[in-house]
A and B are shown apart, each in its own frame.
Chain A
Amino acid sequence: MSPTTREGGLSALPRAVVGSRLPAVLRSPTLQGFVFTAPLLLLFAAFVVYPMLSGLYAATDPDSYRAIFGDPVFRQTVSNTLWYVVVAVNVKLVLALLLSGILDYPFLSIRVLAALFLIPWAIPALPGILSFRWMLNSQWGIFNHLLTKLGFESVPWLAQHDTALAFVIIFHIWKYLPFWTIIFLAGRRAIPNELYEAAAIDGGGVVQSFFSITFPLLKSLYLICTLLSMVFTLGDFTVPWLLTGGAPGDTTHVLATLAYRYTFAMGRLEWGLSTFAVALPVTLLFIGMLMRWVKI
């Protein structure tokens, strides 16, 4: 089968057979392509492009930027969001890359471990967050109970900025580590075994084969996963909102929760929109990079 027929798809069909019953206009590949992608295009135009443009249009007032940049909560939020995105995503992906190496072994026990390991990904975020929240409760949480039993001071985990933000990061890692581990596991399995056998003959150890074979071959996958995960995390609402809700004293907001607070608790719609607009340039840069590498 030559590549041209494969590439050509439907348009490579013998015209006489397929088109005999249709008028010429309806045989046009452009029209057929349009018909089959019309639902998608309508959906994206109506619910992505239009809200995006209308949101940007409503966020053009320089006063709202002056207002949010003057708000200490906003400045704190930007710093929180950066911490969240940079630390959570990178720690998670390094761990995922290493764990995918362990879960790659073909033992039965490892397969059982791998199946159990996926549970945080299988259950929705909300029950997990609620469980963490109760475990971290200053008075009745299991963490403080165990700490005091071991003779330590109890810690108001979610009632102070640093530990609250740390647990937003920890929860994110708990919930999403399995997914990215699977992705890297698949990436590893796509590497031909011969490469490792050759390295073993040359006398390379596990660490050496990781740096000379695994990592160079997974590098682009790793980079794409980092970008994707960073963009997703940049817009995360659920985890910070339900774990801390911005508490204590609005110090643990991230962009999405602050925009929600501006819009719905304070009635400042244009502030909410401007909060996202501030993050848009870096988001678009990331999306642009991804679109160069990934094709649908």
Chain B
Amino acid sequence: MLALTLVILVWTLFPVYYMVLLSLTPTNDLFQPALYIDNPTLRSYVYTMGQDNPFVRYFWQQLLTSLTVSLWTMVLVGVIAAMGSFAMARMKFRFRRYVSGLTLFTYVIPSSFLAIPFFKMMADYDLIDTKLSLILAMVTFATPYALWVLSDYARSLPPEIEEAGAIDGAGTLATFFYLYVPLIIPPLIAIGTYAFLYAWNEYLYALLLLTGEQHIPLPVAMSNFLTTDNAPWNLLMAVSTVYSIPPVILYYAFKRYLVSGLVSGAVSGT
């Protein structure tokens, strides 16, 4: 049992450990692989923060682009899924079945299958190189799962919500804003985090839709390191580590919501 635990830990943590290790490696030691380093240095982080290397010239701008796209995705997915889940879980209307089917279809179809036509469409509308195009793509692909988790949660709420609203004479809109939204805050946090991370982690659409060092988000900038043979890997790993920190913090801060929200959606699907 102990041996198994050890294997799982090494398997899980070693690539992460190695990333951090490389980010602390002085450039002179980069080509002498080892399991630990004698002279760790924060120089790569200093260069990154100070944009003091051609590879990280636009670091802060790229970070800001990633952040902007992710925050907009989070907000829009939250609004759209909150509205949608209210209808899907608490109303009975004629074409409900089609909404459900279309949502599930969008969830399941790999987003890469739609990438080329989506790119062409954005080119036709002259939206290439705008954050809007990437935000639209991210909102589209993050919404289905968000709707799934929220609707599932909303179905478990008692029917007294509408009854209470009815007694107070509240219309549908008032019931939605004052009674429904406050009750779905926990899963809303979960899907907000999910949407943020979805956009933060996205690579393909970011690669296609945004070009030019000043417009690209962080992951695309990182992959551009790979196009040259003499990429400074310690610097790249420092950027990687910085890029990984927000998701890890978000993940552990909202773990409770995230795991229960995502899992209830997945399990109840059966």
Contacts and interface: CB of A to CB of B under 8 A. Distances in A.
Contacts, number: 310
Contact of B159 (A6, A34, A145, A186): A6
A240 B136 CA distance: 25
Nearest to A295: B100
Most buried by A among B18, B172, B176, B201: B172
A70 B169 CA distance: 69
Interface residues of B, number: 103
Contacts of A190: 267
A272 B120 CA distance: 12
A47 B12 contact: no
A242 B223 contact: yes
B263 interface: yes
A283 B33 contact: no
Nearest to A22: B171
Contacts of A273: 116-117
Contacts of A128: 15-16, 19
B61 interface: no
Contact of B121 (A32, A51, A220, A290): A51
B46 interface: no
Contacts of B209: none
Interface stretch (A72-80, A118-126, A201-209): A118-126
Nearest to B100: A296
A8 B92 contact: yes
Contacts of A295: 100, 269
Nearest to B264: A186
Contact of B102 (A9, A41, A141, A144): A41
Given A116-B9, A135-B18, A269-B116, A127 B243 contact: yes
Nearest to A149: B33
A296 B104 contact: yes
Interface in A1-55: 1, 5-14, 17-18, 20-22, 29-30, 32-34, 36-37, 39-41, 43-44, 47-52, 54-55
B113 A47 contact: no
Nearest to B114: A51
Contact of A30 (B93, B101, B166): B93
A220 B16 CA distance: 34
Given A29-B92, A122-B248, A186-B263, A48 B109 contact: yes
A36 B204 contact: no
B270 A293 contact: yes
Given A39-B83, A44-B103, A296-B100, 4 more contacts: A18-B171, A120-B16, A125-B203, A130-B240
6 contacts: A29-B93, A36-B84, A51-B121, A120-B16, A224-B269, A242-B223
Interface of A: 1, 5-14, 17-18, 20-22, 29-30, 32-34, 36-37, 39-41, 43-44, 47-52, 54-55, 58, 99, 102, 109, 113, 115-128, 130-135, 139-142, 144-145, 174, 178, 182-183, 185-187, 190, 220-221, 224-225, 228, 231-232, 234-238, 241-242, 245, 256, 259, 263, 269, 272-273, 276, 279-280, 283, 286-287, 290-291, 293-296
